[in-house]
Amino acid sequence: MKGYKKLLFVAVTVFILLSSHISYCEPIEINAKSGILIEVNTGRVLFSYNSNIKLPMASTTKIMTALLALEYGNLDDLVTIKKSSVGIEGSSIYLKEGERIRLKDLVYGLMLRSGNDAAIAIAEHVGGTVDNFIKLMNRKAKELGAINTNFTNPHGLHDENHYTTAYDLALITREALKKKEFRDIVKSKVWVADRDINKYFYNKNKTLWQYKGGDGVKTGYTKKAGRCLVASATRNGMQLVAIVLDDYSWFNDCYKLLDYGFSVFKPKVIFNKGQFIRNIEVINGNRKKVPIITNNELIIPIKDNEIENIKINIELPEKIYAPIEKNQKIGKIRVYLNGELFAVNDLVVKYSVKEKSILIKLTDYLSKIF
């Protein structure tokens, strides 16, 4: 790229492997038809088994329903329950026609008790109609790259055209876990709703009790889908999500995947937010040079033997022209593993730099002549 100087550093002190596009076949046996293990921060796939085959996912569907409720709804909204939300097959929080209940309580009932009636009530409130809400679900899935997913309902009751993959479900879960409200909901063991009866919601996800660091996410079961589980846990600042679809040993297999992830992969700081990269010459500025820093941190889960074969490419101009704003994007830092791009981060200017006045520019010009 014209006007840019590229600095290539090979075998940086630490690093990586990744990409949610790369999967790893480790000698781990699980009983699922499909399974995956990812690290939430980077999306790196740590284990994959048949993770792109389309399968029904039962109530793990509700991860998307909750995500859209948080994106499009107000948790303090009072929802008036319609007849169409009452008496839905399967798990229920026992909604009554005409009942007024907060959207927040509906989402807790959705994720802790897996209320199918709560799913319909949320869909009607957020989407106007269930059909409109389903359109939102499918649109969001495509936006996230979950291209092998199709929703026909907000709860996960069986339909031949309602399916996902373990990989797609990982993408959806990772997006949901970016929201603090979602994280708070799925890690709650119990919730007391603001209603007169049936107000205690106990979480069905045993991961919260049985697994050290367990903090989510959702169980699911139908006869057609089998036992499906999205289990998350956080240790030493690293959050992992294990997913199994159609697995009679659902909790044990998710724990096995989480154990593998925490024992084999360790979080490594590649660079911190605000880390100094180098100084760049400023033309016509009240500073001769300005420091360039990283805009964000990068922490990656890696194995001990993945330190080598890492390359970092820093792309910056040799000089920049004033005026310059603080945090103005000025370049890129790209991280590669075995020739494959892992991550891209912005490099920014640490300080604002004002342009020289016309008088100072003239003085500088004359000094060069004489």
List the chain domain ranges: 4-16+270-359, 34-264
Average pLDDT over residues 311-334: 93
Dihedral sign from CA coordinates of 153, 198, 63, 204: negative
Collapsed DSSP state (helix, strand, coil) of residue 71: helix
* Helix 116-127 and helix 103-112, axial crossing angle in degrees, nearest 10: 140
The conformation of residue 176, written as its DSSP 8-state character, comes to H
Phi/psi at 230 (nearest 5 deg)? Answer: -115, 110
Of the candidates 191, 170, 239, the one whose C-alpha atom is nearest the C-alpha of residue 211 is 239
Return the CATH number of the domain spanning residue range 34-264. 3.40.710.10
pLDDT tens-place string over residues 73-129: 999 999 999 999 999 999 999 999 999 999 999 999 999 999 999 999 999 999 999
CATH architecture of 4-16+270-359: Sandwich (2.60)
Active site residue 114: yes
C-alpha 333/C-alpha 345 separation (Å) is 5
pLDDT tens-place string over residues 206-233: 999 999 999 999 999 999 999 999 999 9
Q: Which tokens in the block code for residue 233?
A: 């846990």
C-alpha 347/C-alpha 344 separation (Å) is 10
Does 4-16+270-359 match 34-264 in CATH topology?
A: no
Determine how many CB atoms are found less than 10 A away from the CB of residue 254.
28
Active site residue 59: yes
Catalytic residue among 34, 48, 51, 62: 62
Of the candidates 122, 218, 220, 226, the one whose C-alpha atom is nearest the C-alpha of residue 176 is 218
Look at residue 307 in the predicted model and tell me its pLDDT.
Answer: 76
User: How would you label 116-125 residue by residue, b for 16+ Cβ within 10 Å and e otherwise?
Assistant: bbbbbbbbbb
pLDDT at 131 over 50: yes
C-alpha 357/C-alpha 369 separation (Å) is 19
* Helix 62-72 and helix 103-112, axial crossing angle in degrees, nearest 10: 160
C-alpha 284/C-alpha 353 separation (Å) is 9
**30, amino acid identity:** I
pTM: 0.87
C-alpha 332/C-alpha 348 separation (Å) is 9
Catalytic residue among 34, 59, 85, 188: 59
pLDDT at 32 over 50: yes
Catalytic residue among 85, 114, 188, 232: 114
Q: Which tokens in the block code for residue 174?
A: 């990772």
pLDDT tens-place string over residues 227-279: 999 999 999 999 999 999 999 999 999 999 999 999 999 998 889 999 999 99
Put residue 320 in one of left, alpha, beta given phi > 0 → left and psi -120 to 50 → alpha: beta
pLDDT at 367 over 80: no
